[in-house]
Homo-oligomer: A and B are copies of this chain.
Amino acid sequence: MKIVVLKFGGTSVGTISKIKKVAKIIRDYKKKNYSVIVVSSAMSGVTNELIKKSQEISKNFSPSEYDALISSGEQISCSLLAGRLIDEGYMSRSWLAWQIPIFTIGSFKNSRINKINKIKILKYLKKGGIPIITGFQGINDQQRITTIGRGGSDASAIMLSKFFNAIRCIIYTDVEGVYTTDPNKLKKAKKIKVISYEEMLEMASLGAKVMQPVSIQDARLNRIDIEVKSSFVKRSGTLITKRSNISDNKIVTGISSTLNDAKVTLVGVKDRPGVAASIFKPLSKNLINVDMVVQNISANGKDTDLTFTIKSDDLRKTRKIIKDNKSIKFKKLLLEKEVSKVSIIGVGMITTPGVSFRMFQALAKKKINIKVISTSEIKISVLVDKRNTKKALATLHKEFKLEN
């Protein structure tokens, strides 16, 4: 059996006419003699409406009942989709997570798939059936419905691909794939044909919203090829696979940028162990997420400057925490509310020297000032004025030949 797993997101099954289109996509795979396993999210809007109801009932709605409540969303979309395929003469049925079952571990609202019983679904596939499986959910060892906190239905699709040895996992969504950069910010952005898990992870964590990092990581660990494509436009999407499957690695695969970042610099901090911790501990306690952190080696061996970025919304709170906490010693506090992190990502840069130099030079030529630099194995990030974001994106997109 050549098994493919097709996952449809909430917007893909958002209306009755969209569900009919999805049925057509499924039929096309079936006609090509694939054994098709379908995973569906809830119709877009349904889950939010249920969450709203729960909040009206209780400000602190029980997590176990929350899972029982919102899991109904996928039950609705899956039975409608199966009903459509049956209407068209196909053998299909909805499979609710408990009917398979799909077992999860962890807590309510935040569980993860641990085991999938393959027997019934394999038998059903062998008979030629098209199972439509509820994404985003499972049952725990108490037979209670659980939902998958992060990754949602994508995570369901990836784990199903793993357990059933699918030759491919296709994530149908409302975008055509992964782009070299956000097409809303740069018109010249191109769809990436193939990208490694690692690059995709960096893209995702830096703001490309196609898939959640946790799902990409699951796919990477289980070596599952993922294709991200549109359920509305019939074009090839983006293949996410392991590095060794990619022949022509570009130096840079994609460029991402963040918005609404703020920069905080503490000038003249004592350069001794435990100082950074004394600053970040109260921030973490207050759920303030610290992103880039840069600390220079102190010239005099006593003082140092510490810079980090946070979300702009957290700036006022952060300022108060630092000012109020007497154990944090520094000479001066510098705040910049509107900065943007621009990052180039590519596995090619591991083997190509001088990439950072090219990046810095290209930005300098356009008079874009770099405030902070941070690098990882396959990524270089710089902090620039927010007003320079688009210019920086365009400059780097051209410099690294992503427009071709």
Residues on A close to B: CB < 8 A?
16, 19-20, 50, 53-54, 56-58, 60-62, 64-66, 68-69, 71-72, 75-76, 78-80, 82-84, 86-87, 93-94, 96, 98-99, 143-145
Contact = CB atoms under 8 A, between A and B. Distances in A.
Given A16-B53, A53-B16, A69 B79 contact: yes
A80 to B, nearest CB: 5
B57 A19 contact: yes
Contacts of A53: 16, 76, 80
Contact of A80 (B57, B60, B75, B144): B57
Q: Is the interface of A mostly helix, strand, loop or mixed?
A: helix
Contacts of A82: 62, 65, 68
A371 B144 CA distance: 61
Nearest to A56: B16
Contacts of A68: 75, 78-79, 82, 94, 96
Contacts of A144: 99
Contacts of A60: 87
A219 to B, nearest CB: 29
B94 A65 contact: yes
Contact of A83 (B20, B61, B75, B86): B61
A67 to B, nearest CB: 8
A62 B78 CA distance: 13
